[in-house]
A and B are shown apart, each in its own frame.
Chain A
Amino acid sequence: MTPPPRKRAARTRFVLMGSAAFGLAACQPEQTVEATVFPSVEECRAVADLPENAFTAEECAEGFAEAQAIHAESAPRYADRDVCEAEHGGECVVETRSDGSSIFLPLLAGYMIGNMLGGRGMAAQPLYRTQGGRFATPGGGTTLSGLRGRTNLAPAAFSSAPSTRTAAPLSRAAVQSRGGFGAGRTGGGTAARGFGG
């Protein structure tokens, strides 16, 4: 008797195309979320009732509270005031840890709110000034040119960044470098045919 197929896959063929599996597929625009950006809760409230805006004054306040909570949890934290101020082009504030050490955080420059897809409600993120005079979310994953206005962002722009509250603070040496992986030292730096096996 023939045993029933048990090991068998059941699917259509997939194709290696050199890039199609990654990033945005050519013909499929990713869904975006409309984000509105404010330097303060007052500015948000002031425009909440305008017909073109889909948020209420109450949501302005809720969004600001959420941004502050994320700030407390995930703000970039530095061991050195100078590094913090250089990275954020301005004032940083001190926070004292339970072990008595001092950590420096950039000030909240503003926040953004967005209506999440699939009825998941309003989401918010704090924004910090960057070295180049732009404004970024805590993980640095999304950067905006200004603190007022509306823009379309990938939903991931509202994903939470990892907590920094108890993580090791940043030092100057860790800031901005590239190319620190790939030396392949166990193989004497040669990998004629890649690193898989």
Chain B
Amino acid sequence: MRRDDLGARPDWQDKAGEAGFTFHHIGGELYWDESHAYAFSLEEIEAGLETPAEELHALCREAVDHVLASEEMLDRLAIPPEHRDLVATSWQAGDPELYGRMDFAFDGTGPAKLLEYNADTPTTLYETSGFQWDWLEDMIGAGRLPEGADQFNGLFEALVARFAALFARDEDLHFAAFADAPEDYATVETLAWAAREAGLGAHFTDIRKIGISETGQFTDAEDRVIGTLFKLYPWEDMLRDDFADAIAGAQCRFLEPPWKAILSNKGILPVLWRMFPGHPSLLPAVFEGEDTADLGPDIVSKPLFSREGAGVRLSVGGRDEASPDTQYDAHPRILQAYGPLPRFGEDHVVCGVWMVGETAAGLGLRADRSRITQDTSRFVPHYIDPR
């Protein structure tokens, strides 16, 4: 893994505009950053990231089974008791997963260490599967990268194939997000393109406009019944919303399925460490209040529920660093051994490996001067160097 200061395409902002990629700057700061890129060898991608991600996903599935067998574990993960049947039923029925993203600390040499698994509502799907790929093609076309340069990015194709495998042709899917959140919307729009390419119908609804029909089914803003709902809205919130009691009887298929409530929860990290202690891709982790002897001196504290680094606190070398976002601070926490992100120049870089079904299908990198990756961390492209 190497940082190449390739320089940006001179016309990249025009290309972003043409592609409808509107959030290349966030709050006036650069978000899409192609001034440099990261080069990997094929070996680093395959043995370093792809294989461990698929193995960890399989371990995660074992962990779901384990958690569902224990009320104590379900308590630890703060799964509401009244909705545990919903979660268990979806697992026992084999409801299929669509996608997820594992964030790793990986520098190309040692084993990649799982920081967390965003198994329910990962975003940056457009940047990863679309604009990053366009960047590679342009760079090869301009002779700035070698002809054989490649990218770990079969993500869009894998999603098309997954949709085609899970649904009958012409079936209608609803995609729900917050319409006023452009990054979230871009992710559901990308999924909708994939669904359409798989021959399915795709409809958007704002999550807040979902209703319940006279037959107890969920409906969209235009009162159409929702048979399958992709929701870019986390299960931990779904299960605490006013409609939570209606989910079990709504006869609706969900993407992600309810059992992802267990995986998208930071509590899965100590569960994995208990079940598979010493696994090379896992960082030691415990629930807050448990013995921290395994963790070493440098510790990261994370709320059970949080996204984009919110509520994360680091204690490294006796110095503390905390995310400025404290909205999740009321939740129980887990403690994880600090897995340092590789540093290139002033940037700390995290490797996000995308899962589609049970297969690793692509890579997106985020870079930040802070050691805590957050929603404003820059997206940086990567390529596989053929040399």
What is the interface of chain A, defined by CB distance below 8 A to chain B?
2-3, 5-11, 13-19, 21-23, 76, 87, 131, 138-141, 155-156, 159, 161-164, 167-168, 170, 174-188, 190-191, 193-197
For the complex, give the distance between the alpha carbons of A9 and B153 in Å: 6
Q: Give chain A's interface secondary structure class.
A: loop
B115 to chain A, nearest CB (A): 12
B36 within 8 A of partner (CB): no
In the assembled complex, the Cα of A184 lies from the Cα of B178 at a distance in Å of 11
Q: B241 and A164: CB pair below 8 A?
A: no
Given A16-B19, A16-B126, A179 contacting B209 (CB threshold 8 A): yes
Say yes or no: is B202 at the interface (Cβ < 8 Å to chain A).
Answer: yes
Let me know if B208 and A181 touch, CB within 8 A: yes
In the complex, whether B240 has a CB less than 8 A from a CB of chain A is yes
- Is B187 at the interface (CB under 8 A from chain A)? yes
Q: Count residues of B near A (Cβ-Cβ below 8 Å).
A: 91
Contacts A7-B150, A180-B212, A181-B241 given; does A194 touch B184 at CB 8 Å: yes
Give 28 pairs: A residue, B residue, CB < 8 Å, sorted on A: A6-B42, A7-B153, A13-B133, A21-B192, A23-B202, A139-B213, A139-B225, A140-B217, A140-B225, A141-B224, A155-B170, A161-B215, A170-B216, A174-B216, A178-B212, A181-B208, A181-B243, A182-B241, A183-B237, A183-B241, A187-B310, A195-B181, A195-B232, A196-B121, A196-B123, A196-B124, A196-B181, A197-B307
Interface positions of B (Cβ within 8 A of A): 18-22, 42, 45, 118, 121-124, 126, 129-130, 133-134, 148, 150-157, 170-172, 175-178, 181, 183-187, 189-190, 192-193, 196, 201-204, 206-217, 219, 223-225, 227, 231-234, 236-238, 240-243, 246, 249, 251, 305-308, 310, 327-328, 330-331, 375, 384, 386
A176 to B189, CA, bound (A): 28
Give CA–CA (A36, B310) in the complex, Å: 56
Across the interface, A195 reaches (CB within 8 A) one of B189, B203, B234, namely: B234
Q: Does B217 contact A162, Cβ atoms closer than 8 Å?
A: yes
Question: Which residues of the partner chain B approach A177 to less than 8 Å between Cβ atoms?
Answer: 211-212
